């Protein structure tokens, strides 16, 4: 007998969204503490990149299993487990005295974050309908877009305030009381839900995916001989091959794999995933290297560095609202190309600003370039999700969404490592922050041009196909 799902009230919705903010903010809140962390723990820019990358990759790998665990054992239960684990992992981050301890704690943070985030949208889907559902999804998207700005600004405030002499540690320790408050409130206002037809977790796929992404990460962050680089890349290729075999076998047996091969045969999803890899690698690398440059090179305080991203965040939010309002009237690929056409001049303007105005770089001088970048990014992000979910049936929607989010988080994690490695090499022993940042921006510009070329190639293919069918 089918039991109707309970309804989520307004208070429950906002508690869910606040819970989602905890792990989302932690992507960016660390950026403004990078300089202080580096000085305190005596670590290099590449090692600093690991604190961002490890979190993102563990988040990505555990995302699909986290979603399935919520379906099977109860979304509220797994949500609360994630909040509790995230709070304890944040405490461990705040108390870390070595890079190794910090990285282990960040990995646990990423895993527990993956228990939190999938439950939010899943709970909204099964407890709300009609206008209430649409409004809740709108709030979910808007808060997700604003979270990185909230993280940058709040992180700057916390580090600058230096509460009880904690410095950078406060950006992690603040999560503990917030987690306790959420754990007290959640049982009172969020109903328990679970799926009637849950799938088993693809643990083999998760382990092989972990082997693949961490094999890609090591050559980017650890100095080693060429033969060791090649050996590790061979290991990555083996893990990827085994992942494809395991996924195909699991799907043929009617069980849900981590990355369903049948979805990857859909052209629009393939395009969306390729664009996601290039764009989100750029985005995470940009946020990481610009934060390093503003603090270590320009000499801005943590508070000033965080505030330098406000213009980007506000323009991103405005662009997201504008693009979502007209989403049904503008072809997906055209909107994505508009985003590239806005963001790329923004990157070029930022390069000129850093080259000609290095001695006077500040919040006001950066604003025109960062506003263009944020506005363009909002068009691209909105288009990516629409492109990926085109030609996806209702039955495939959950798996497709999980696949897209997993790829996005992997790209974000590896992007920070790639850009961090390039930044460190260009920085050199002479600490040329200006040239290091310009080099990273040039690579980001090239990758965004590649995104535009991919989309144009796809559009030409669509035109030829339509002409052949006419």
Condensed to tens digits (0 to 9), the pLDDT of residues 281-311 reads 998 899 889 988 998 889 888 888 888 888 9
What are the phi and psi torsion angles at 299 (to 5°)?
90, 20
Q: Counting Cβ atoms within 10 Å, is residue 363 exposed (0-12), middle (13-18) or buried (19+)?
A: middle
Better pLDDT: 2 or 173:
173
How far apart CA 85 and CA 91 sit, in angstroms, is: 10
pLDDT, tens digit, 9 for 90 and up, residues 354-371: 999 888 898 899 999 999
pLDDT band at 278 (very low <50, low <70, confident <90, very high): very high
Looking at every residue in the chain, the average pLDDT score rounds to: 86
pLDDT, tens digit, 9 for 90 and up, residues 170-215: 999 999 999 999 999 999 999 898 877 667 778 898 899 989 988 8
Better pLDDT: 174 or 139:
174
pLDDT, tens digit, 9 for 90 and up, residues 324-336: 777 667 777 888 9
Across the range 128-156, mean pLDDT stands at 74
Res 184: pLDDT: 96
Res 178: pLDDT: 94
pLDDT, tens digit, 9 for 90 and up, residues 81-95: 999 999 999 999 999
Across the range 439-456, mean pLDDT stands at 94
Alpha carbon distance, N-terminus to C-terminus of the chain: 49
DSSP structure string for 126-145? HH--HHHHHHHHHHHHHHHH
How far apart CA 408 and CA 334 sit, in angstroms, is: 21
CB–CB of 81/115 below 8 Å?
A: yes
Res 263: pLDDT: 84
Res 145: pLDDT: 64
Residue 1 has pLDDT above 50, yes or no: no
CB–CB of 203/250 below 8 Å?
A: no
Residue 126 has pLDDT above 90, yes or no: no
How far apart CA 2 and CA 11 sit, in angstroms, is: 26
Across the range 216-227, mean pLDDT stands at 82
Token duo for residue 439: 């080099």
Across the range 221-237, mean pLDDT stands at 86
HEC readout, 23-51: HHHHHHHCHHHHHHHHHHHCCCHHHHHHH
Across the range 47-75, mean pLDDT stands at 87
pLDDT band at 159 (very low <50, low <70, confident <90, very high): confident
How far apart CA 269 and CA 276 sit, in angstroms, is: 10
Cβ-Cβ contacts under 8 Å for 151 (sequence gap 6 or more): 24, 25, 26, 27, 28, 29, 31
pLDDT band at 279 (very low <50, low <70, confident <90, very high): very high
Across the range 434-455, mean pLDDT stands at 94
Nearest to 74 by CA among 114, 110, 111, 123: 123
Res 463: pLDDT: 66
Which of 26-40, 141-155, 227-241 has the highest average model confidence (pLDDT)?
A: 227-241
What are the phi and psi torsion angles at 46 (to 5°)?
-65, -40
Nearest to 119 by CA among 170, 156, 173, 69: 69
Better pLDDT: 326 or 50:
50
Q: Which domains does the chain have, with CATH numbers?
A: 9-191 (1.20.1250.20), 259-461 (1.20.1250.20)
How far apart CA 373 and CA 432 sit, in angstroms, is: 24
Token duo for residue 1: 């007998």
How far apart CA 340 and CA 337 sit, in angstroms, is: 5
Residue 429 has pLDDT above 80, yes or no: no
CB–CB of 131/10 below 8 Å?
A: no
Better pLDDT: 441 or 20:
441
Better pLDDT: 303 or 466:
303
**What are the CA-CA distances from residue 123 to residues 5, 85, 136, 140, 192 (Å)?**
10, 20, 11, 12, 9
Residue 430 has pLDDT above 80, yes or no: no
Res 186: pLDDT: 94
């Amino acid at each position: 007998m089918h039991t109707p799902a309970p309804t989520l009230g307004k208070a429950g919705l906002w508690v869910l969204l606040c819970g989602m903010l905890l792990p989302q903010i932690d992507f960016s809140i660390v950026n403004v503490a990078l300089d202080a962390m580096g000085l305190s723990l005596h670590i290099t820019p590449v090692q600093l990149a690991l604190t961002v990358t490890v979190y993102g990759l563990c988040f990505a790998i555990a995302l699909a299993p986290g979603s399935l665990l919520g379906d099977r054992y109860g979304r509220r239960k797994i949500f609360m487990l994630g909040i509790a684990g995230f709070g304890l992992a944040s405490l461990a981050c705040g108390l870390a005295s070595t890079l190794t301890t910090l990285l282990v704690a960040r990995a646990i943070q990423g895993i527990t974050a993956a228990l939190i985030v999938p439950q939010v949208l899943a709970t909204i889907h099964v407890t709300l309908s009609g206008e209430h559902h649409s409004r809740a999804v709108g709030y979910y998207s808007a808060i997700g877009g604003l979270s990185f700005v909230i993280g940058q600004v709040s992180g700057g405030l916390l580090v600058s305030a230096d509460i009880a002499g904690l410095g950078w540690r406060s950006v992690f320790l603040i999560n503990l009381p917030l987690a306790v408050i959420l754990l007290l409130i959640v049982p009172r206002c969020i109903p328990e839900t679970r799926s009637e037809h849950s799938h088993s977790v693809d643990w083999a796929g998760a382990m092989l995916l972990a082997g693949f992404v961490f094999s890609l990460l090591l050559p980017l962050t650890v100095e080693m001989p060429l033969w060791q680089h090649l050996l590790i890349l061979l290991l990555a290729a083996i893990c990827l091959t085994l992942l494809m075999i395991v996924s195909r076998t699991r799907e043929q047996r009617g069980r849900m794999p981590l990355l369903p091969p049948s979805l990857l045969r859909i052209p629009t999803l393939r395009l969306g995933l390729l664009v996601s890899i290039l764009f989100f690698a750029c985005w995470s690398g940009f946020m990481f290297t610009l934060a390093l440059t503003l603090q270590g090179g320009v000499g801005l305080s943590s508070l000033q560095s965080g505030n330098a991203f406000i213009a980007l965040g506000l323009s991103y939010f405005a662009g997201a609202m504008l693009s979502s309002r007209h989403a049904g009237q503008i072809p997906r690929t055209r909107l994505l190309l508009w985003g590239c056409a806005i963001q790329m001049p923004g990157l070029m303007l930022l390069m000129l600003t850093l080259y000609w105005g290095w001695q006077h770089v500040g919040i006001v001088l950066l604003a025109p370039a960062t506003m263009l970048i944020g506005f363009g990014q909002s068009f691209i992000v909105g288009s990516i999700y629409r492109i990926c979910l085109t030609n996806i049936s209702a039955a495939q929607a959950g798996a497709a969404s999980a696949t897209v989010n997993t790829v996005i988080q992997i790209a974000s994690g590896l992007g920070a490592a790639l850009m961090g490695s390039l930044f460190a090499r260009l920085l050199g022993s002479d600490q040329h922050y200006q040239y290091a940042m310009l080099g990273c921006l040039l690579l980001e510009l090239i990758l965004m041009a590649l995104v535009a070329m991919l989309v144009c190639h796809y559009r030409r293919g669509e035109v030829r196909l339509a002409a052949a069918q006419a």
